[in-house]
A and B are shown apart, each in its own frame.
Chain A
């Protein structure tokens, strides 16, 4: 068969010469190789102190967005749930009562919004489906937990911090995706 590359090396089956059978030169050579690795740069990053930057297309944990006045964007239209290939999203809609205008942006809102993080595949289709820019994938990942039910994230787990009451946390949660707003 024609070899695809010329990298293949024929194994030499010749009996070893006396110098080779002494082994010590070979061992010494090997030890020199490991010794040279002392001076090499270490690729490891000291994780919690130093973090690798996420790539701009990274898709992490979902966040439910608010507008600048802190009103929830979501209108519980259900497009994200339809788009979701893993069927991880469930929601219940409710109508905005008078006096709740400062809480919800539009007349309809999600009373219950849950994402099962064990099902979610972080494809980002919910983000693409959302007409109201209410959900997007952030730059964090789901932390580990001991119980399955802890992985069903309810609305208060997903909601972004209030931009007026807690502006710093809001900016932090928004991350680099802030340009989207």
Chain B
């Protein structure tokens, strides 16, 4: 029965949810700052350095500014959907973090606390499902704006995400063949014991990485919000905190996809060359979280590094890459992986 309520468990999970959500919000906030800083450094500039020491209060100032901006809802838009759009985008962005194993177990108050909100046995499929939901926020918002540029941006987002989801799914299938489980926690445990999955799936990782860029609408695949063709893309008509939600959800998506990539291919909270069994569980958990965060930060840096290096693709190039290169490549990867698994497991 569902009604076997364990209050301590519920409180534990609630605290974990609050911590994870607020942590991802804070990280996303500082990712916006890091983005500006990295962009500046890569372009021989200094970046924001006025608000607070080294400009560390800049994200607060940005958030405050967005908060106090005038809220504009276009006259001919459907108001409910117009508000629903950014809310959905934010919701789906945050929801993914539920199945990520952030670390190993922690001993607190005589309880063993798992640093994962929900260890469901279809973890990676859940992530996939939520990611495929993510496009609704953009589509609904863009349609509700009643603006042709917004609509074009939304349509681009939809077709782009659907196209790249295919290749992403197939590259994941190859990974699942190697790991034999859908649970993210179990994948990490396997990688802790053996090698990281990147060794078995280098091509799969590359495909996954490119698709993750496309799913996050990051440059070079940021066509839905291409400023010079579509003004602002899907968020042209948005202002104030609703715009903030859209921008913010993009950074949360980036953070979450970095976490997913680190978990799937780079051992999650596994610290290389360190045997976690040598430490007490709490210290091992802290090391694990630190290891995961280091990997995530490196991935986020990669996202930014690519953004400030590579120009945007043309739309036909985007589709060409997705359908005619990545999908055949992913299929090939799946075949080779299947053959290898068959050969070595015999």
Contacts and interface: CB of A to CB of B under 8 A. Distances in A.
B42 interface: yes
B310 A37 contact: no
A103 interface: no
Contacts of A35: 42, 305
B44 A31 contact: no
Interface string B11-47: 0000000000000000000000000000001111110
Interface stretch (A38-46, A58-66, A74-82, A156-164): A38-46
B46 A34 contact: no
Contacts of B45: 42, 44
B43 A46 contact: no
Nearest to B220: A27
A43 B309 CA distance: 20
A30 interface: yes
A37 B49 CA distance: 19
Contacts of A40: 44
B306 interface: yes
Contacts of A30: 309-310
Given A37-B41, A38-B41, A31 B306 contact: yes
Interface string A102-119: 000000000000000000
Contacts, number: 33
Question: At the interface, is chain B mostly helix, strand, loop or mixed?
Answer: loop
B128 interface: no
A174 B41 CA distance: 39
B328 to A, nearest CB: 14
Interface string B275-319: 000000000000000000000000000000110111000000000
A37 B305 contact: no
A27 to B, nearest CB: 6
A12 B137 CA distance: 45
A73 B46 CA distance: 46
Contact of B44 (A27, A33, A43): A43
B46 A44 contact: yes
Nearest to A22: B325
A38 B46 contact: no
A11 B221 CA distance: 27
A41 B43 CA distance: 11
A22 B308 CA distance: 20
A79 B305 CA distance: 61
A34 B308 contact: yes
B140 to A, nearest CB: 34
A44 B49 CA distance: 12
A32 to B, nearest CB: 9
A38 B42 contact: yes
Contacts of A43: 44
A41 B41 CA distance: 10
A34 B308 CA distance: 8
A175 to B, nearest CB: 28
A33 B310 CA distance: 11
A42 B42 contact: no
A49 B288 CA distance: 43
B305 A42 contact: no
A30 B311 CA distance: 11
Nearest to A38: B41
A37 B309 CA distance: 11
A46 B44 CA distance: 13
B305 A27 contact: no
A31 B41 contact: no
A49 to B, nearest CB: 11
A37 B42 contact: yes
A65 to B, nearest CB: 37
Contact of B305 (A31, A41, A44): A31
A46 B46 contact: yes
Nearest to A45: B46
Interface in A52-107: none
Interface in B36-88: 41-46, 49
**3 nearest A-B residue pairs (beta carbon):** A34-B309, A34-B42, A31-B309
Given A31-B309, A44-B46, 14 more contacts: A27-B310, A30-B310, A31-B310, A34-B42, A34-B305, A35-B42, A35-B305, A37-B41, A37-B43, A37-B44, A42-B46, A43-B44, A46-B46, A46-B49
9 contacts: A27-B310, A31-B310, A33-B309, A34-B42, A37-B43, A42-B45, A42-B46, A44-B45, A46-B46
Interface of B: 41-46, 49, 305-306, 308-310
